[in-house]
Structure 1
Amino acid sequence: MLHQLEIENFYAILDPQVIDLRVASNVPDTPGRFAPLWERSSERAPKVVGLFGANASGKSTVLRALSFIAWFARDSFSLAPGAPLPFLRFNRSDAIQKRTRLAIQLAGVNPVDWLLGEVRYGYEVVLGRSPDGHDQVLREVMHYWAHDSGRKVRLFERDAQGKVKTGPEFGMTGFTQALGKVLRPNASVISTLAQLQHGFATTLREAAQHVFTNMLIERTQTVEQEMVQFYASNPPLVEALNREIERVDLGIQAMRIEQGPNGPLLLFSHEGLDGPVPLHWESEGTRAFVWIYPFLQRALDTGGIALLDELDTAIHPLLLPEILRWFYDPKRNPNNAQLWMTCHNASLLEDLVKEEILFTSKTGDGRSEVYALSDVQGVRRDDNYYRKYLSGIYGAVPRIG
C-alpha cells in the first residue's frame, strides 16, 4: 500500500509537497475504503485517491511523479548514456538549475525473510545536472523499517559520483564490481542491477511493473493500435471485459477480436444491429472505457496501483462510482490495489470520504500546491463535499471573471 509521496521541483510543483495518506487512528472503519499499510499494521490508507482542482492546477503532476518513479526504477537503464531524463523541472529560470526530489513510502515483502510479512519501505531519488549540463542522479536511496525495533535500515545509498553503499540485506556479493562498471548517471540502481539479474533488485523492478498508468513518461505517443494489440495478446482480458459489459450499460453486447488485413481489429456487437461495429465507429464513452479497463483490471489482479489521468473524461457519471466499488469490494480487490485518479467531475465527491480527497491549486506566481480535504479545518464527515467544493469553501476551483 502506497501511503506517502513527496514532490519537489517537478513539472508544476516547485516547493516541496508532502502527500501523507495515513488515516488517523480515531477515524472509524468505512467498509472497503481503507486497508492496512502492510500486513498486521495498525495504520491504514485509502484504496482510492481522487485529485480535484482547476485546469492546469497540478493534478496531473502528482500522477506523473508516481509514474516517473515507477518508470525510473523499472526502465531507466534503457536510456542511452547521456540521454536526458524524461521529465521537466518547474518552468522558471532559477528552478531549472535546482535539484528535483521525489520520494515514496509503501509496503513490501520483508527483505530478511518473506515469511516474516511485509514492512514499510522508503525510496528517494534526487536529480540534478552534471557540470556539462546532462541530467544525473545526485542521490538514490532505499531503506526499510524493521518490524521488531522500528529501526530505519539502509538497503542501498548512491551519491552524485555513482558510489553505492549497501546493507547486508540487499545481497551485493558478486555484484559490486559489475555495478561500478555499468551504472550510468541517468539510470537507477534498481534497473541497472535488474539487468545483472540481482535477486532483490529484480523483485523491486517487478513490483514497479505493477504500476499501471495512462501517463506518458518517455516522450512517445501511445496509439490506439497498441491497445488493440494488447487485447489481442490477452484473451482472458477480453473475457473479463465482456463480463463487465454485461453488468454495465455501455449499449453494447460484447467485444471480439478478428484479424484484419493490417492486424487485429476490435469489433462490437449491438442489440438490434445486423453486423458488428468497429472500434473507430463506437462512441467516445465506449472507447474511453475500453482504453482504461486494462489499467484497472491489471491493478486489481496484481494488487498494484492504477494511475489514471482524467478518469471521468467521456465516461458517464453513473459508471464512475461503479468503478470505485471495484476497489472497495474485497472479492474484486483481495490484494488491496489502489486507484489514484484526477477528475473534473465534482459530483464524484459525493461518493468519496474525506480521506480519499486531495485538492490542487496554484499560487499567484504559478506554483502548484497539494492538500488533503482532511487537512481543511472544520470539515465534517457528513458535509456535502460536492456543494461546498463548488461554492469555493475548500478552494481549488477555477477563477472566472
Structure 2
Amino acid sequence: MLYKIELENFYSIREAQVLDLSVSPSLEDTRGRFAAIFPGSTIRTPKVVAIYGANASGKTTILRALHFLSSFISSVNVESTDFRQPVYTFNDEESRGKPIRLAIELGGITNPQRDEVDDFKPEFGTLRYELVLRAKDGKIERVLWEAMRQRPNGTGRWQRVFERTAEGDTISVKDSDVFPMVGLKHLLKTLRPDASLISTYAYFNHPTAGFYRETASRVSSNVDRRWDFISGDNALLGFIGQQPELLKRLNRDLSRIDVGIEELRIEHIPHLGPQGRFLHSGLHEEMPWELESRGTQAFVRLFPQLAFVFDKGGVALVDEFDTLIHPLVLPEILRWFYDNETRNPLDAQMWLTCHSATMLEDLVKEEVVIAEKDSAGRTRIYSLMDFKALRRDDNLYKKYLGGAYGGIPVIG
C-alpha cells in the first residue's frame, strides 16, 4: 500500500511537498476504508485518496508524479532512443536549472530475491524509492540519484537495497544482499543515463529488479490516456471483447448502475473493427456505441482500469473521476474499494482527482487531499488530517465549499 509521496520541482510544484497518509492505529474503521500498509502492520493508509482543488491547482500533478515513477521503473527502454513519458521542472528560470526530486514510500515484500525458493516465506516491511534527475525540454537528461531502501517489519533505520549515483559520465552503484550485483556489474555499461537501474537490470533477468518492475507495473492510469480510449474507442471495445470474463463483470455492473441496459455486446465487423451494441429493455433494436449516453461510455472506459487493479492489487490513478459519471454512481465505485469480501480482496488503492463537492459526504478526512496554487503559480498539497481541529462529525462538504480548507476557486 502506498502511503507517502514527496515532490520537488516537478511541474507546478516548486518547493518540496510531503504528503504522508499514514492513519493512526487507534482510529476506528467500521467501513473498511483503510488497509494495513503491509500484512501485520499497525499503520494503515486509505484505499481511496481524493484530491480536490480549483482548476489548474495542480491536482493532476500528484497523479502525474505517481504515473511517471511507475512508467520509469517498469518501462523497458534499454535499447530505445529516449524515455517517452514527459517530465518538466517548475517553469521559472531558477527552477529550470535545478533537479527534479521524487520519492515514494509503500508497504511490501522486503526479501524478494528468495521468491523462487520452494520454502519461500515472504517478509514484509516498508520500502522507499528515491529519484533525482535533470530534465530539459520535457525529457530526462540524466539520472543523478536513484535509490531503494527498506525497513523490515517497518521498524528501525532505512537499509540500503541499492544506491545509484552519477559523477560526470561515470555511474556508480552500491548493492546489497537484497539486490546483489556479483557478476553483473558489467551491465552498468548498458545502463543509459536517462534509464532506471531497476528496469535495466530487470531486462537482463535480475530477480529482485524484476520483482520491483512487476510491482511498479501494477499501476493503471488515465493520465496519459492509456486506459482512456477517447480518440479510439474501437481499441477499448476490442480489448474488452477479447476478455469474456471482463465483459461479464462489466455487464453485471452496467445493469445495476444504468437504467434500462441489459447487456453490452461486442462484435467484430470486417472493415469496421470491434463494434459495441447496447441491449436496452423495451427497445426494438440494440443501441450502437456512438449513440449511447456519454456517462455510460465514461463508465465503460473506466471499468477495465478498476478491474485491473482489483485483480493485481495495484493502484488506479483516475484523473477527473467525476467527469460525466452520475454523482450517485461515484459513491458506489468508492464502495468497491472498501469491499474486501468480493471486490477488493488485495487492497487495491485509487488515487483520484475530482471537483464534485457532494462526494465529500461519502469521504472522511483521511481520504481527502487538497491542492492549492498561489499567485506565483506554485502548488502546495496537504491532507485534511493536517487540520488538527477538524472533528469526526464535521460536515466536510459544507466546510470545503465555505473555504475552511482552501482549494476552492476565487472568482472575481
Q: Please give the TM-score of this superposition, normalised by the length of structure 2.
A: 0.91
- After superposition, the C-alpha distances for 1:256-281 in whole angstroms (9 at most, x for unaligned) are 11011232112211112222222221
> Offset at 1:120?
0.7
Map 1:122-141 → 2, pairs under 5 A: 122-129=128-135, 135-141=141-147
Contact kept, 8 Å, 1:68 with 1:217, in 2: the verdict is no
Aligned to 1:346: 357
Identify the match of residue 393 of structure 1 among 401, 404, 408: 404
Aligned to 2:36: 36
> Offset at 1:329?
0.7
Aligned to 1:307: 317
> 2:286 aligned with 1:266, yes or no?
no
Query: What is the letter of the counterpart of residue 142 of structure 2?
Result: Q
Contact kept, 8 Å, 1:107 with 1:121, in 2: the verdict is yes
> Offset at 1:76?
5.5
**Alpha-carbon distance in structure 1 between the residues aligned to 2:332 and 2:183:** 50
Identity of aligned residues (%): 45
Inter-CA distance 303–5: structure 2 relative to 1 (3 Å threshold): same
> Offset at 1:85?
5.5
Aligned to 2:18: 18
Contact kept, 8 Å, 1:85 with 1:186, in 2: the verdict is no
- Give SS of 1:225's match: helix
- After superposition, the C-alpha distances for 1:360-381 in whole angstroms (9 at most, x for unaligned) are 1011211001011111241111
- After superposition, the C-alpha distances for 1:214-248 in whole angstroms (9 at most, x for unaligned) are 01189x98632332222122221111101112322
> Offset at 1:30?
3.4
Aligned to 2:291: 281
**Alpha-carbon distance in structure 2 between the residues aligned to 1:288 and 1:381:** 33
Identify the match of residue 369 of structure 1 among 380, 390, 394: 380
- Give SS of 1:314's match: coil
Higher mean C-alpha deviation, range 335-344 or range 163-172: 163-172
- Give SS of 2:64's match: helix
> Offset at 1:83?
5.9
**Alpha-carbon distance in structure 2 between the residues aligned to 1:10 and 1:230:** 33
Aligned to 1:80: 80
Map 1:2-401 → 2, pairs under 5 A: 2-75=2-75, 77=77, 80-81=80-81, 86-111=86-111, 113=114, 115-129=121-135, 135-147=141-153, 150-160=156-166, 161-177=170-186, 179-216=187-224, 223-261=232-270, 262-331=272-341, 332-401=343-412
> Offset at 1:94?
1.6
- Give SS of 1:306's match: strand
Contact kept, 8 Å, 1:110 with 1:116, in 2: the verdict is yes
- After superposition, the C-alpha distances for 1:144-168 in whole angstroms (9 at most, x for unaligned) are 1123962422111111232211112
Query: What is the letter of the counterpart of residue 161 of structure 2?
Result: L
Instruction: Tell me the matched-pair count.
Output: 397
Inter-CA distance 16–266: structure 2 relative to 1 (3 Å threshold): same
- Give the unaligned 5+ runs of structure 1: none
- Give SS of 1:320's match: helix
Inter-CA distance 83–377: structure 2 relative to 1 (3 Å threshold): closer
Contact kept, 8 Å, 2:73 with 2:199, in 1: the verdict is yes
**Alpha-carbon distance in structure 2 between the residues aligned to 1:275 and 1:138:** 60
> Offset at 1:318?
0.4
Inter-CA distance 386–128: structure 2 relative to 1 (3 Å threshold): same
Q: RMSD of the alignment, in Å?
A: 2.1
Query: Which of structure 1's runs of 4+ aligned residues deviate more than 6 A?
Result: none
Query: What is the letter of the counterpart of residue 155 of structure 1?
Result: V
- Give the unaligned 5+ runs of structure 2: 115-119
**Alpha-carbon distance in structure 2 between the residues aligned to 1:293 and 1:138:** 38
Inter-CA distance 272–373: structure 2 relative to 1 (3 Å threshold): same
- Give SS of 2:174's match: strand
Contact kept, 8 Å, 1:85 with 1:135, in 2: the verdict is no
**Alpha-carbon distance in structure 1 between the residues aligned to 2:243 and 2:216:** 20
Inter-CA distance 148–275: structure 2 relative to 1 (3 Å threshold): closer
